């Protein structure tokens, strides 16, 4: 099962993620949102299963990556958490992208061929 633990990231990725979360949660506070980590480390087997989805297994394609930096422990995915404790993927993604760029973090929303707005990596 994929991890949500920051300790499962490399030390450099963990430090970048912590800085990102602090800045993002400060920016999101007026909107009564916080960030929830949905994935940090993902095993190669889990990545292969995700890659098969929409190709050789039922479902919608969710990744174009046969190999993900999640398996290298250098990426994390997020969702928004509302004041009521509800998880949503509707929120100010461009704000998060701007914060990531400022911190030297790559944002999946900037990718040209496959926009992965919840994805951040070093």
Query: How far is 31 from 94, CA to CA, in rounded Å?
Result: 14
At residue 8, φ and ψ (nearest 5 deg) are: -85, 0
* pLDDT band, very low/low/confident/very high, at 85 (cuts 50, 70, 90): very high
Contact between residue 118 and residue 78 where contact means Cβ atoms under 8 Å apart: yes
Residue count (the chain): 122
Contact between residue 39 and residue 4 where contact means Cβ atoms under 8 Å apart: yes
Over residues 12-16, the mean pLDDT reads 98
Over residues 89-102, the mean pLDDT reads 97
Is the confidence at residue 1, as pLDDT, over 90?
A: no
State pTM to two decimals: 0.92
Is the confidence at residue 120, as pLDDT, over 90?
A: yes
pLDDT digits (tens, 9 = 90+) for 22-73: 999 999 999 999 999 999 999 999 999 989 999 999 999 888 888 899 999 9
Strand partners, 57: 53
The better pLDDT of the pair 64, 9 is held by 9
pLDDT, residue 13, reads: 98
pLDDT digits (tens, 9 = 90+) for 100-111: 999 999 999 999
Query: How far is 67 from 117, CA to CA, in rounded Å?
Result: 18
């Amino acid at each position: 099962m994929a991890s949500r633990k920051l300790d499962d990231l490399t030390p450099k990725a963990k430090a970048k993620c912590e800085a990102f979360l602090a800045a993002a949660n400060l920016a999101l506070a007026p909107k009564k949102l916080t960030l929830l980590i949905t994935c940090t480390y993902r095993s190669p087997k889990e990545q292969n299963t995700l890659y098969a989805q929409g190709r050789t297994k039922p479902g919608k394609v969710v990744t174009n990556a046969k190999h993900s930096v999640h398996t290298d422990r250098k990426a994390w995915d997020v969702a928004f958490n509302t004041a009521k404790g509800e998880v949503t993927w509707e929120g100010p993604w461009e704000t998060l992208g701007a914060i990531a760029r400022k911190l030297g973090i790559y944002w999946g929303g900037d990718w040209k061929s496959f926009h992965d707005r919840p994805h951040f990596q070093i």
